[in-house]
Structures are given as structure tokens and as C-alpha cells.
Amino acid sequence: MPYYQSAPEKTQDHSGDTPDDLSIADVAAAEDETMKGLPPVLITSIVLVPGFAACAVQFPNFASIRVVGNLLTDALQQLLARRPVARRAGAAS
């Protein structure tokens, strides 16, 4: 006889997860309403500022001009990399 017993398999019953009267359109509309919250830049700032402050307290030279400058230039490079480049009319594709 083994010294352990295997746990019985658990089956998940999803039959009562959503009411039958909700359509896919109703669920999509509810998701759209929840996505109209804070813009991504604001959410990123809410995470970045306390994180930067915590690291500045923990590490003495973290809040130096060089680190802040690198952070800003990296962010600017990311923004410029995502901007679509306008093509000239005669340029080959």
C-alpha cells in the first residue's frame, strides 16, 4: 500500500457561471464600459511614481539626473518607435 493517496479528480461545472438571458453583445457592452476607466498613461504613472520613489529611498543614487534622463529618453524612444512613418509618394515599398 503506498504511503500517499492520490486526490480524486475535480471536475469543473461551468453551467451556472453566466445567466442564460445574457447575450454575447451584453457581455461585450459591459466590458466596454469597464474599459472606459483610466487611460493607460495615467495607470503607468500611478505605478511608476511610487515605484521610483521606493527605489530612490532604497538606493542612494537612483534619483540622480542621469537615471531620470535615461528614463525619459527611453520613454521618448519608445514613443517615437511606435509613431507611423509617413512615406513619400514616389518611394518604393
Q: pLDDT (tens digit, 9 = 90+) per residue, 31-50?
A: 666 556 778 888 888 999 99
pTM of the entire predicted model: 0.45
Residues 6+ apart with CB under 8 A from 62: 52, 55, 56
Whether 73 contacts 79, CB under 8 Å:
no
Q: What is the pLDDT, as a whole number, of residue 24? A: 74
Q: How far apart are CA 32 and CA 26, in angstroms?
A: 10
Give the model confidence (pLDDT) of 54-85 as tens digits: 999 999 899 999 999 998 999 888 888 877 66
Q: Given the C-alpha cell 511610487, which residue does it identify?
A: 50
Is the Cα dihedral 62, 68, 69, 72 positive or negative? positive
Helices (H), 1-92: 24-34, 40-58, 65-82
